[in-house]
């Protein structure tokens, strides 16, 4: 039996034991930064921390995916402190195995040697990069590399040579197996069978496992670089779980944390960054644009969403679980291309889950908004605001006009326009440099943002205002959520087609099933079934909550008060939803996920897709699923009428549990539910 790695919340608890996060009751506002990859979340956090980008590259920022761990900062007086939590050995071992298999596939397909090296040194998820830990390939090494870097490169080359040699030993067997396939086998099934045969032949070889063990041993040796004076906690296998330290000096702190956070090429082979699950830092950080009063803040930065104009990527449940625990949610978006699908999805999730009162919006890269049609800064701001107004209009259409109007009023004074022009991408200027007008205006916007966050107040619950709901109306909203989720995933797995959804490659669906089977992990890159179902369900339940049959007292309360009452119920529901979906979709059917993962051979990618769809049918059943169940009864119903189908659907265990969650949330949020 595989021992499951720790859940993100377990890592959070471990960091909390070592370095607790202060709360608003103690004068500290907790701020969560969310946004798409490359929007500028990390750059904005560096402004609040007062990081000098020319001398202090922390936390690291670049145009790619740099935030691959949970990052938390506490701006507080006293010494600098940090606690780092690490990925489990089981997770690291799986990443190494997958990198080796990816390199083997690249070599088998006779790709360029640099492509083989790239597959070995960087996992497809872009969160695990062996080059950071063990060094660069000699094929990718820069000309002025040091002797130590060349030594690292020689070891990497030996790993690459070893995996290529293993492929050569099995290539003939694979080709012979492929020659015996049926002539009408599709190209996709041909590739599936070749990949499966290669993997199966490699993983059964002792030399392949020995290669994995060699790399794991080299990785574990890198932990010997941990500075003295810190506290290391390890598991029963002596694999590090966490490391914490404290120092009074800023430069000493930055030198130490570099080991866990840097992505600089000159340190390749000497970093632990890819092994870090998360870190929490506390110290006397303060922004230079407000030197008179040090802010008391907790800043939380998570991984960015993938972003394209039309592709929707959802926030992970772990990130959305933080909505309840923070005081402000800052949506960071790119001013040059504002409110595209990713940012709009975040905004809709915040609204649907009842946390709109915590929302702030920061449009970065504002210096890139220019053109002959803009007379001044105000015209540029209005141009960006037009995109926000259109998104608010869409929210009004989707969730009701009250949501639109209340959110618009809530965002007054909470929308900011920031410029971090190159080369420093910072408002920090040299002492002998005159700041530009753009920098001066951005510093003013940052001061406004900080003041708005520091003065945020928890809105009191609406007193004496009670919405009443008809339970019988809930059915149609839930089935819409289930149908939307199932339609999207059937299209993703190429079971059906949709003009709005591009099918995923079979290897990514297999990788998702692998994550569930091995780790009970609920997502793989942008494949997030738990998050997808949560979003569809939250949005439909929100629409239901927007339509109470009556208010008590009937003529009492403003639109803002009524919105606050509905938000309170929505928050109660959202806090309950995650455990329900994860249990029904991931934990309970784990054996079925194992079956799906282990499918192999021609045609098995389609079978795996149907396996996964069957799992989804137990947590999000549709009328089609109910019809199949009725047909399978012995004897089947004499007439499969709509009433019989609806009765059976309402009796489904999943819908009964979800209905109970909604009812509990309504009562806990101060509402009332009836059946009529």
Question: b/e string for 161-193 if b means 16 or more Cβ within 10 A?
Answer: ebbbebbeebeeebeeeeeeeeeeeeeebebbb
At 74-117, the pLDDT tens digits run: 999 999 999 999 999 999 999 999 999 999 999 999 999 999 99
Q: Rg (Cα) of the chain, in Å, rounded?
A: 27
Task: Specify the 3-state DSSP secondary structure of 328.
Answer: strand
Token code pair at residue 157? 């080359």
- The pLDDT assigned to 557 comes to 78
Q: Which of 66-70, 388-392, 442-446, 555-559 is least confident?
A: 66-70
Render pLDDT for 251-308 as a digit per residue (tens, 0 to 9). Answer: 999 999 999 999 989 999 999 999 999 999 999 999 989 988 889 999 998 666 654 4
Give first-to-last CA distance, the chain, whole Å: 50
Mean pLDDT taken over the chain: 88
Helix axes 623-631, 642-650, angle to 10 degrees: 100
Between 78-92, 185-199, 333-347, 463-477, the lowest mean confidence (pLDDT) is in: 185-199
Gap between the Cα atoms of 183 and 186, Å rounded: 9
Indicate the SS3 state at residue 455. coil
**Nearest residue to 598 (alpha-carbon basis) of 512, 490, 507, 514:** 514
Domains and CATH numbers, the chain: 8-77+284-454 (3.40.50.300), 84-276 (no CATH), 466-674 (no CATH)
Q: How far is CA 513 from the centre of its chain?
A: 18
Q: Encoding tokens for residue 434?
A: 């005159």
- C-alpha distances in Å from residue 670, one per residue of 30, 379, 657: 26, 44, 20
Task: Residue 29: name the closest of 519, 453, 614 by CA.
Answer: 453
Residue 640's pLDDT is what?
A: 46
**Residue 337 CB neighbour total at 10 angstroms:** 17
Query: Residue 329 and residue 360: Cα distance in Å, rounded?
Result: 6
For residue 224, the cross-strand partners are none
Tokens of 418: 């920031």
Show the CA angle centred on residue 216, arms to residues 509 and 210, nearest 5°: 90
The span from the CA of 526 to the CA of 518, in Å, is 18
pLDDT per residue as tens digits for the range 301-357: 866 665 444 445 788 898 999 999 999 999 999 999 999 988 999 999 999 999 999
Q: Which helix (H) or strand (E) holds 497?
A: none
Residue 583 is classified by DSSP as: I
For residue 486, the Cα-to-chain-centroid distance in whole angstroms is 21
How many angstroms separate the CA atoms of 228 and 239, rounded?
A: 17
Q: What is the pLDDT of residues 22-61, one digit of tens each?
A: 998 899 999 999 998 888 898 899 999 998 877 888 888 7
pLDDT in the model for residue 460 = 78
C-alpha–C-alpha distance, residues 59 and 181, integer Å: 52
Mean pLDDT score, 543-566: 91
Q: How far apart are CA 417 and CA 445, in angstroms?
A: 7
Torsion of CA 511, 513, 519, 520, to 10 degrees: 140
Number of Cβ atoms within 10 Å of the Cβ of 432:
5
104-129 residues labelled b (16+ CB within 10 A) or e (exposed): bbbbbeeeeeebbbbbbbbbeeebbb
Question: For residues 152 and 146, what is the distance between their CA atoms, to the nearest angstrom?
Answer: 10
Helices marked H in 304-370: 317-321, 341-352
Closest CA to 532 of 344, 314, 342, 343: 314
CA–CA separation, 324 and 109 (whole Å): 48
Cβ neighbour number for residue 627 with a 10 Å cutoff: 15
3-state secondary structure 586-603: HHCCHHHHHHHHCCCCCC
What mean pLDDT comes out for the span 350-367?
Answer: 95
User: pLDDT tier at 645 (50, 70, 90 boundaries)?
Assistant: very low
For residues 48 and 57, give the distance between their C-alpha atoms in angstroms, rounded to a whole number.
14
What pTM does this model have? 0.89
Determine phi and psi for 210, rounding to 5 degrees.
-65, -35
């Amino acid at each position: 039996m595989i021992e499951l790695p720790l859940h993100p919340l377990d890592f959070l608890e471990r960091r909390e034991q070592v370095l607790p996060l202060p709360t608003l009751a103690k004068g500290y506002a907790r701020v969560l930064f969310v946004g798409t990859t490359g929007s500028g979340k990390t750059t904005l956090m560096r402004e609040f921390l007062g990081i000098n980008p020319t001398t202090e590259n922390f936390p690291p920022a670049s145009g790619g995916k740099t935030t691959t761990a949970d990052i938390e900062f506490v701006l507080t007086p006293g010494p600098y402190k940090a606690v780092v939590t690490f990925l489990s050995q089981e997770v690291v071992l799986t990443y190494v195995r997958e990198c080796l298999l990816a390199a083997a596939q690249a070599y088998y397909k006779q790709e360029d040697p640099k492509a083989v090296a790239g597959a070995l040194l960087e996992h497809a998820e872009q969160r695990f990069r062996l080059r950071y830990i063990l060094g660069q390939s000699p094929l990718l090494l820069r000309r002025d590399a040091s002797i130590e870097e060349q030594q690292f490169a020689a070891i990497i080359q030996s790993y690459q040579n070893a995996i290529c040699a293993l492929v050569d030993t099995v290539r003939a067997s694979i080709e012979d197996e492929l020659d015996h396939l049926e002539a009408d086998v599709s190209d996709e099934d041909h590739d599936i069978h070749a990949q499966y045969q290669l993997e199966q032949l490699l993983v059964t070889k002792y030399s392949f496992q020995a290669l994995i063990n060699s790399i794991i041993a080299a990785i574990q040796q890198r932990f010997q670089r941990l500075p003295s004076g810190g506290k290391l906690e390890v598991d029963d296998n002596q694999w590090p779980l966490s490391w914490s330290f404290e120092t009074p000096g800023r430069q000493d702190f930055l030198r130490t944390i570099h080991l866990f956070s840097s992505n600089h090429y000159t340190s390749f082979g000497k970093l632990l960054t890819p092994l870090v699950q998360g870190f929490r830092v506390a110290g006397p950080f303060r922004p230079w644009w407000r030197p008179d009063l040090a802010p008391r803040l907790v800043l939380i930065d998570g991984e960015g969403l993938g972003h394209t104009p039309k592709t929707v990527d959802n926030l992970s449940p772990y990130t959305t679980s933080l909505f309840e625990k923070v005081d402000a949610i800052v949506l960071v978006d790119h001013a040059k291309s504002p409110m595209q699908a990713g940012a709009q999805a975040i905004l809709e999730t915040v609204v649907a889950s009842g946390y709109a009162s915590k929302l702030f919006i920061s449009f970065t890269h504002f210096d890139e908004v220019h053109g002959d049609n803009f007379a001044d800064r105000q015209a540029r701001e209005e141009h960006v605001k037009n995109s926000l107004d259109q998104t608010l209009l869409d929210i009004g259409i989707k969730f009701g006009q009250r949501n639109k109007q209340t959110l618009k009023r809530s965002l007054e004074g909470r929308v900011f326009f920031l410029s971090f022009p190159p080369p420093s991408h910072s408002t920090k200027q040299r002492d002998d440099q005159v700041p530009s007008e753009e920098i001066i205006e951005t510093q003013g916007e940052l001061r406004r943002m900080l003041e708005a966050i520091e003065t945020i107040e928890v809105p009191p619950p609406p007193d004496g205002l009670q919405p009443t709901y008809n339970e019988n109306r809930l059915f149609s909203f839930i089935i819409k959520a289930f149908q939307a989720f199932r339609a999207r995933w059937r299209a993703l797995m190429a079971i059906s087609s949709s003009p709005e959804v591009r099918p995923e490659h079979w290897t990514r669906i297999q990788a998702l099933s692998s994550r569930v089977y091995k780790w009970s992990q609920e997502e793989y890159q942008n494949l997030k079934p738990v998050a997808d179902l949560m979003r569809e369900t939250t949005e439909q339940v929100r629409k239901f909550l927007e339509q109470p049959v009556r208010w008590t007292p009937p003529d009492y309360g403003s639109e803002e008060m009524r919105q606050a009452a509905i938000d309170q119920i929505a928050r109660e529901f959202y806090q309950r939803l995650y455990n329900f979906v994860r249990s029904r979709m991931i934990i309970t059917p784990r054996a079925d996920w194992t079956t799906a993962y282990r499918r192999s051979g021609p045609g098995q990618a389609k079978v795996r897709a149907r396996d996964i769809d069957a799992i989804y049918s137990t947590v999000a059943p549709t009328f089609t699923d109910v019809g199949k169940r009725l047909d399978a009864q012995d004897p089947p119903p004499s007439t499969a009428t709509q009433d019989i189908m609806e009765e059976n659907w309402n009796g489904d265990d999943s819908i009964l549990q979800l209905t109970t969650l909604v009812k509990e949330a309504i009562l806990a949020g101060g509402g009332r539910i009836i059946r009529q």
